[in-house]
């Protein structure tokens, strides 16, 4: 048997062991309240089985099925399907990330091309870069005075640094030869920027974008839990209100899968612009 | 007689003010259609001179005049083949050349650019490899793309920096032949850096010999005394061949160092290169003659 | 949801929304009257507790001036708007923020039960994660109106804990309805004297919860700043923290007290009703500026809430309301938990079924002396430093200055504003002597 097949079997085995352990650990305990007053038991919800705490694998599967079979339901401004919630989160990430790219890539270009700009901006970048994105939230709320724009701003501010630094680095390390070729061909600034520097630095820039997207996706969930109205972070928070762990775990899974898909997408983009020297 | 096509006068380059110059007082001239090679040890400043000619670097002193105008900044008039091939790895062969063609003739449409590219791809015998990326090409093929790119813009002058450095002997010979024939066809003016004495003898009309750096200079301008039409196969049968070759090798092995240290007698007090014609008039030397005033080819045949 | 019928749906043959009238039309007439009466009564009563004084005031300044004075004192324009008999609403689509707790019942139920719609409003209720956030969103004009803790408009108007901005309290959402919940492991420690070192949670610093918890433990000889720890924890996180052992107990809003019982992690030590029967908790707040700009909208909103509160006041409706506000869109809680909170028939977590019909009440009386009580507690616990001008501050929030100035001109004594007697743990509060009240406590930060 090939190593691949064997490792696949081992993976499945590990999964089975994990599910079995989970199932056993979450089996409903038999209530010892035989002597409890029936009226009290009814008020406590003990008269019928109720999920308390950790769901069993089967309960989780049921929750997932229920959510996924109707992902776009709309039961009011605070209760929408997971698909709609994801769309809100992705929209915010897309906006914040897109704006960050619009700022970071040209600015990174400038910094990468000009040692002067690099010297002037570097101290600011070094100070601003390590700030935890969510630390911006109160300030953003206070100054921007709009929670949606504030979360977009937080995404913006957290995704700008990796893109800025990578763009600057990518641009600064474009091989002199290629620039010299462009110069001897009298290619204009714009043409050089778009047809030589950009493709040359593209793999590095995309690495930065990939890192940024990863961070943005982490941050949006936290930001929505803090302020969000709608979005996966809000979904987690809303189900947490109801102490509904199976919905929370389901949402965690969805967040993970979407994060992975975003990363794969950027990985594919990265591969598309990578060249072999 | 009119001034030479390219005149280089008193060129000096130091990397920082006050430092010893890499080379100083470098002067020479190229006639239109002339093929000049420059030979010198590694680090003496050949690439730097070429970069200054290309307009990519600025001299600390002296001047370069091409076609009556001072060179300042790069221009499409001078096509450069870089020491590393400097192809853009994300572009196919066709588009690498196309980038240059589009720079030269921005108004051309896609078909015209394509046809022009194809002509030069065929010229360097890369037909069938148009859509390959540089990473899929051998070293020799890449070098040929570089040459095609430089030729395709039809410059007034070609600057080649060790174009065959990385090639095996066979490929090198083949491309050398191509280069000779292309130059013969197009009457290109060429300035080429090489480390290969045989290559210089085969291709050059004049060979500039540089002393070691720092403070390198052009010690001699050796006129190729072999017939203009040469072939790799019979060149060594010519009576002047070994004289010429020995002169060059001797320079590289012994004299380049002595000259740098200023120990060779005749060189001690002269800053202008001597013009040497090995095999003619038994190493007849024209001392103190300004290089640009030497009528280069007339004395050969 | 089949359990729940829209009271304004002509197809269903209901008696009326509140159940006290034979037809819906009759109810509507009454509700209109009720809202106008509630307004006028509340304002006039707070201004002139004595009938003779009121008549003297109206006679001396004239009816027009009196109405203007009242308009300046009570939510701007609301009276005029009502007098104009439902002027056209300036803004139809409203955003109203709420925290998912039962205090917000009138505000929430107005959506599923159609009270907003009935007033020509299209209200979108926005669930919000915490009090600081709802405050910021209200101040940032993201919300047209919001569910706020009763002390928050005072704190915001004073700029304590946030930037200052004039706020207006439209109605009190609810009275009572909070409880002290303790972790199961403390079921034998019912005497607060045994609570030294306990970690407690309250939902917000400027909350009745904080002031009542402090009051309660201090009455039992514990210094709330030294003998116990009080943390701010968002209500939804209280149960989880109690389960995890991070908290020993909390004075929190329902349904999270009942939820702790339902999930068997805690028991209800006492209802806040037992500390102060009729204490307000949450309010329905708007920015003063917004009321000025949207007097008709405000009046419509106000009528909707009054109608809802009238329906909620009837115990017979509580079960219906529990079903209406339980879905994920609103409180996102099990119906049985909400029913226990709203009906007052509940399991206490220690094996007893209790029956306390006034566990939570919905009494939309605008508060006044309460403002002074809250300020007295803010002063007591050091949130306000130095000499607190109780009157000036409360007057500012209540916009009483204008009316008082006129009354002074007319030689009328300033009214005492005490519609309800305040008795906290058996001790009466005299709103005219707040400093004496503060100084009467042994444990205080002054
Ligand atoms: N940008 C630079 N800054 C400082 N020194 C430089 C720079 N570029 C080249 N040099 C130095 O100048 C000298 C000449 O370099 P150059 O590249 O012209 O040599 P070369 O003759 O072309 O050598 P090779 O035959 O190895 O290509 C070398 O000593 C090199 O170290
Ligand atoms: Mg070189
Ligand atoms: Zn009624
Ligand atoms: Zn409340």
Q: Hey, CA dihedral for C129, C133, C135, C137, is it positive or negative?
A: negative
pTM over 0.80: no
Q: Give yes or no for A178 touching B (CB within 8 A).
A: yes
Does the pLDDT at position B284 exceed 50? no
**Is A43's CB within 8 Å of C336's CB?**
yes
Q: Which of A63-77, A237-251, C39-53, C378-392 has the lowest mean pLDDT?
A: C39-53
Spatial neighbors of C133 by CB under 8 A, at least 6 apart, are A141, A147, A226, A227
**Is B89's CB within 8 Å of A185's CB?**
no
Which among C111, C124, C353 is the nearest to A43, CB-wise? C353
Asked if chain C contacts chain B via 3 or more Cβ pairs within 8 Å, the reply is no
Angle at B187 between CA B183 and CA B193, to 5 degrees: 50
Helix C151-158 and helix C369-380, axial crossing angle in degrees, nearest 10: 70
Q: Of C176, C101, C171, give the one whose Cα is nearest residue C134.
A: C101
pLDDT score for A100: 94
pLDDT score for B291: 40
Please name the residue that has the structure tokens 């010198």: B40
Probe site for chain B from A176, A181, A188, A194 (most B CB atoms < 10 A): A181
For A197, phi then psi, to 5°, come to -65, -45
Q: Which of A244-258, B142-156, B208-222, C92-106 has the lowest mean pLDDT?
A: B208-222
pLDDT score for C80: 41
Set of chain C residues whose Cβ sits within 8 Å of the Cβ of A231? none
- C408, with CB counted inside 10 A (0-12, 13-18, 19+), is exposed
Q: Which chains touch C (3 or more CB pairs under 8 A)?
A: A
Please name the residue that has the structure tokens 């898909």: A261
Q: pLDDT tens digits, residue range A221-232?
A: 888 887 767 888
Q: Which of residues 200-259 of A touch C (CB under 8 A)?
A: 225-229, 237-243
Nearest-by-CA chain C residue for A225: C129
For B15, phi then psi, to 5°, come to -80, -25
The mean pLDDT value of chain A amounts to 86
Distance (Å, whole) CA C280 – CA C361: 9
- C50, with CB counted inside 10 A (0-12, 13-18, 19+), is exposed
Residue C295: strand, helix, or coil: helix
Record the tokens describing residue B73, joined without a space.
Answer: 């900044």
Nearest-by-CA chain A residue for C338: A43
- Considering only CA atoms, which residue is closest to atom 31 of ligand 1? B43
What is the side-by-side order of every strand in the sheet holding B285-286?
B78-81, B157-161, B189-193, B35-39, B206-210, B218-223, B274-276, B285-286
Q: Are B140 and B168 in contact (CB under 8 A)?
A: yes
Omega into C255 within 30° of 0, i.e. cis?
A: yes
**Is A185's CB within 8 Å of B133's CB?**
no
In chain B, the percentage of residues whose pLDDT exceeds 90 is 24
**Is C264's CB within 8 Å of A228's CB?**
no
Q: Are C321 and C342 in contact (CB under 8 A)?
A: yes
B218 lines ligand 1 (CB under 6 A): no
Q: What is the DSSP-derived secondary structure letter of residue C280?
A: B
pLDDT score for C34: 47
B48 lines ligand 1 (CB under 6 A): yes
What average pLDDT score do residues B187-209 get? 89
Set of chain A residues whose Cβ sits within 8 Å of the Cβ of B91? 199
Characterise A97 by phi-psi region: left (phi > 0), alpha (psi -120 to 50), beta (else). alpha
Compute and round to an integer the Cα radius of gyration of chain A.
25
Q: Which of B246-255, B262-271, C18-27, C163-172 has the lowest mean pLDDT?
A: B262-271
Set of chain A residues whose Cβ sits within 8 Å of the Cβ of B104? 185
CA–centroid distance, residue C208 to ligand 4 (Å): 8
Does the pLDDT at position B94 exceed 90? yes
Residue B179: strand, helix, or coil: helix
B21 lines ligand 1 (CB under 6 A): no
Which among A186, A195, A276 is the nearest to B75, CB-wise? A186
**Is C142's CB within 8 Å of A243's CB?**
no
pLDDT score for B295: 39
Q: pLDDT tens digits, residue range C295-341?
A: 778 878 877 877 787 778 778 888 888 998 998 888 888 899 999 99
Q: Are C367 and C347 in contact (CB under 8 A)?
A: no
Does the pLDDT at position B301 exceed 50? no
Which among A180, A195, A202 is the nearest to B86, CB-wise? A180
Other CB atoms within a 10 A radius of the CB of residue B270 amount to 12
B74 lines ligand 1 (CB under 6 A): no
CA distance A178 to chain C (A): 52
> DSSP of chain A, one letter per residue?
--HHHHHHHHHHHHHHHHHHHHHHHTSPPPP--TTS-HHHHHHTT-SS----SSPPHHHHHHHHHHHHHSTT-B-STT-B-HHHHHHHHHHHHHHHHHHHHHHHHHHHHHHHH-HHHHHHHHHHHHHHTTS-GGGHHHHHHHHH--HHHHHHHHHHHHHHHHHHHHHHHHHHTS-HHHHHHHHHTT--HHHHIIIIIHHHHHHHHHHHHHHHHHHHHHHHHHHHHHH-SSSHHHHHHHHHHTT-HHHHHHHHHHHHHHHHHHHHHHHHHHHHH----
Q: Are C341 and C103 in contact (CB under 8 A)?
A: no
Compute and round to an integer the Cα radius of gyration of chain B.
19
Record the tokens describing residue C34, joined without a space.
Answer: 């009720």
pLDDT score for C416: 40
Pairing type for strands C282-287 and C167-172 reads: antiparallel
**Is B90's CB within 8 Å of A273's CB?**
yes
pLDDT score for C427: 87
User: What ipTM was predicted for this assembly?
Assistant: 0.82
pLDDT score for C9: 36
Distance (Å, whole) CA A68 – CA A61: 10
Q: pLDDT tens digits, residue range A81-133?
A: 889 999 999 999 999 999 999 999 999 999 998 888 888 888 888 888 888 88
Which among A39, A146, A228 is the nearest to C140, CB-wise? A146
Q: What is the DSSP-derived secondary structure letter of residue C195?
A: G
**Is A185's CB within 8 Å of B54's CB?**
no
Q: Are B43 and B25 in contact (CB under 8 A)?
A: no
Residue C258: strand, helix, or coil: helix
Set of chain A residues whose Cβ sits within 8 Å of the Cβ of C319? none
Closest ligand to Cα B214 = 1
- The per-type count for chain B, helices as H runs and strands as E runs, is 8, 12
Q: Which of residues 129-148 of B touch A (CB under 8 A)?
A: 133-135
**Is B75's CB within 8 Å of A184's CB?**
yes
Distance (Å, whole) CA B193 – CA B45: 10
Distance (Å, whole) CA B165 – CA B194: 8
Does the pLDDT at position A209 exceed 90? yes
**Is B90's CB within 8 Å of A200's CB?**
yes
Record the tokens describing residue B158, joined without a space.
Answer: 């070609």
B20 lines ligand 1 (CB under 6 A): no
Per-residue pLDDT of chain C (446 residues; tens, 9 = 90+): 332 333 333 333 445 555 556 666 665 555 555 444 445 544 554 455 455 665 665 555 555 555 545 544 444 344 444 444 456 778 889 999 998 898 888 889 888 888 888 888 899 898 888 888 888 888 888 888 888 887 787 777 777 666 667 666 666 667 888 999 999 999 899 999 999 989 999 998 888 899 999 999 999 999 999 999 999 988 888 888 898 888 999 999 989 999 999 988 899 999 999 998 888 888 877 887 887 788 778 878 877 877 787 778 778 888 888 998 998 888 888 899 999 999 989 998 888 899 998 888 876 555 567 778 888 888 899 888 777 777 666 665 554 433 344 334 444 344 444 445 788 888 888 878 888 898 899 888 87
Answer with the residue of higher pLDDT: A199 or B125: A199
> Which atom of ligand 1 lies at the shortest distance from residue B83's CA?
27
Nearest-by-CA chain C residue for A241: C236
Record the tokens describing residue C253, joined without a space.
Answer: 């809003």
Distance (Å, whole) CA C27 – CA C16: 6
Of the segments A50-54, A153-157, B212-216, C153-157, which one has the largest average pLDDT value? A153-157
């Amino acid at each position: 048997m090939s190593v691949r097949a064997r490792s696949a079997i081992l993976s499945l085995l590990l999964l089975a062991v994990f599910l079995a352990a989970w199932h056993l650990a979450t089996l409903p305990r038999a209530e010892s309240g035989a002597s409890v007053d029936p009226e009290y038991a009814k008020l406590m919800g003990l008269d019928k089985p109720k999920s308390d705490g950790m769901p069993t694998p089967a309960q989780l599967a049921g929750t997932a099925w229920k959510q996924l079979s109707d992902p776009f339901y709309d039961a009011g401004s605070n209760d929408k399907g997971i698909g709609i919630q994801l769309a809100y989160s992705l929209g915010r990430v897309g906006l914040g990330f897109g704006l960050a790219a619009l700022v970071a890539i040209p600015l990174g270009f400038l910094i990468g091309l000009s040692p002067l700009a690099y010297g002037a901006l570097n101290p600011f970048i070094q100070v601003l870069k390590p700030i935890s994105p969510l630390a911006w939230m109160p300030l953003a709320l206070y100054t921007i005075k709009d929670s949606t724009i504030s979360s977009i701003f937080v995404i913006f501010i957290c995704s700008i640094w990796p893109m800025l630094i990578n763009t600057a680095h990518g641009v600064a390390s474009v091989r002199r030869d290629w620039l010299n070729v462009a110069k001897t061909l009298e290619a204009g600034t714009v043409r050089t920027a778009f047809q030589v520097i950009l493709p040359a630095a593209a793999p590095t820039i995309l690495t930065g974008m990939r890192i940024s997207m990863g961070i943005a996706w982490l941050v949006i969930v936290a930001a929505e839990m803090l302020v969000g109205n709608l979005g996966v972070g809000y979904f987690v928070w809303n189900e947490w209100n109801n102490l509904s762990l199976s919905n929370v775990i389901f949402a965690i899974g969805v967040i993970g899968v979407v994060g992975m898909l975003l990363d794969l997408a950027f990985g594919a983009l990265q591969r598309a612009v990578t060249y072999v020297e | 007689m009119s001034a030479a096509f390219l005149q280089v006068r008193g060129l000096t380059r130091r990397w920082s003010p006050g430092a010893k110059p890499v080379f100083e007082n470098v002067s020479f001239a190229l006639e239109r259609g002339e093929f000049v090679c420059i030979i010198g040890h590694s680090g003496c400043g050949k690439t730097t001179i070429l970069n200054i000619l290309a307009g990519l670097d600025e001299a600390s002193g002296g001047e370069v005049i091409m076609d009556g105008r001072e060179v300042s900044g790069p221009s499409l008039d001078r096509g450069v083949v870089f020491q590393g091939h400097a192809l853009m790895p994300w572009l196919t062969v066709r588009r690498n050349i196309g980038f240059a063609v589009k720079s030269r003739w921005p108004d051309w449409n896609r078909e015209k650019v394509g046809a022009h590219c194809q002509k030069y791809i065929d010229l360097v015998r890369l037909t069938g490899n148009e859509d390959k990326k540089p990473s899929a090409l051998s070293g020799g093929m890449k070098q040929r793309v570089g040459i095609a790119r430089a030729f395709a813009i039809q410059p007034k002058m070609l600057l080649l920096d060790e174009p065959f450095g990385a090639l095996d002997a066979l490929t090198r010979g083949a491309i050398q032949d191509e280069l000779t024939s292309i130059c013969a066809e197009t009457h290109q003016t060429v300035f080429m850096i090489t480390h290969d004495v045989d290559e210089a003898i085969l291709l050059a009309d004049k060979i500039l010999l540089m002393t070691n750096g720092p403070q390198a200079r052009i010690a001699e301008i050796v006129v190729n005394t072999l017939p203009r039409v040469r072939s790799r196969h019979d060149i060594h049968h010519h009576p002047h061949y070994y004289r010429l070759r020995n002169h060059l090798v001797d320079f590289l092995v012994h004299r380049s160092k002595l000259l740098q240290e200023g120990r060779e007698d005749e060189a001690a007090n002269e800053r202008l290169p001597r013009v040497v014609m090995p095999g003619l008039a038994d190493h007849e030397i024209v001392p103190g003659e300004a290089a640009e005033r030497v009528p280069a080819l007339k004395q050969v045949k | 949801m089949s359990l729940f019928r829209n009271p304004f749906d002509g197809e269903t043959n209901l008696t009326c929304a509140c159940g006290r009238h034979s037809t819906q039309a009759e109810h509507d007439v009454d509700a209109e009257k009720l809202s106008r009466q509630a307004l006028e009564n509340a304002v006039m009563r707070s201004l002139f507790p004595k009938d003779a004084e009121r008549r003297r005031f109206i006679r001396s300044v004239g009816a027009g001036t009196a109405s203007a004075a009242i308009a300046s004192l009570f939510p701007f324009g609301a009276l005029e708007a009502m007098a104009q008999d439902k002027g056209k609403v300036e803004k139809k689509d409203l955003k109203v923020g709420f925290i998912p707790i039962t205090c917000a019942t009138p505000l929430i139920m107005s959506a599923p039960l159609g009270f907003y719609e009935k007033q020509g409003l299209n209200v979108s209720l926005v669930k919000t994660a915490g009090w600081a956030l709802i405050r910021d969103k209200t101040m940032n004009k993201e919300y047209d109106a919001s569910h706020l803790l009763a002390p928050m408009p005072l704190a915001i108007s004073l700029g304590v804990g946030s930037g200052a901005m004039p706020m207006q309290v439209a109605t009190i959402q609810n009275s009572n309805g909070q409880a002290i919940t303790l972790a199961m492991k403390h079921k034998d420690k019912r005497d607060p004297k045994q609570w030294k070192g306990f970690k407690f949670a309250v939902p917000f610093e400027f909350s009745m919860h904080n002031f009542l918890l402090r009051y309660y433990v201090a009455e039992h000889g514990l210094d709330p700043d030294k003998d116990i720890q009080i943390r701010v924890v968002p209500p939804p996180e209280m149960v989880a923290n109690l389960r995890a052992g991070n908290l020993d107990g909390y004075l929190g809003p329902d349904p999270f007290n009942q939820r702790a019982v339902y999930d068997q992690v805690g028991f209800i030590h006492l209802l806040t009703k037992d500390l102060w029967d009729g204490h307000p908790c949450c309010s329905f707040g708007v920015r003063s500026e917004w009321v000025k700009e949207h007097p008709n909208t405000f009046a419509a909103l106000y009528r909707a809430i009054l109608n809802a509160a009238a329906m909620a006041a009837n115990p017979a409706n509580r079960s219906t309301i529990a079903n209406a506000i339980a879905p994920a869109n609103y409180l996102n809680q099990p119906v049985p938990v909400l029913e226990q909170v709203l009906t007052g028939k509940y399991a206490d977590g220690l094996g007893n079924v209790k029956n306390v019909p006034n566990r939570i009440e919905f009494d939309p009386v605008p508060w006044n002396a309460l403002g002074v009580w809250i300020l007295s507690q803010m002063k007591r616990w050091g949130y306000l430093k130095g000499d607190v001008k109780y009157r000036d501050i409360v007057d500012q929030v209540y916009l009483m200055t204008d009316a008082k100035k006129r009354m002074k001109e007319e030689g009328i004594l300033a009214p005492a504003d005490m519609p309800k007697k305040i008795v906290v743990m058996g001790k009466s509060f005299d709103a005219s002597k707040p400093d004496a009240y503060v100084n009467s406590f042994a444990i205080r930060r002054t």
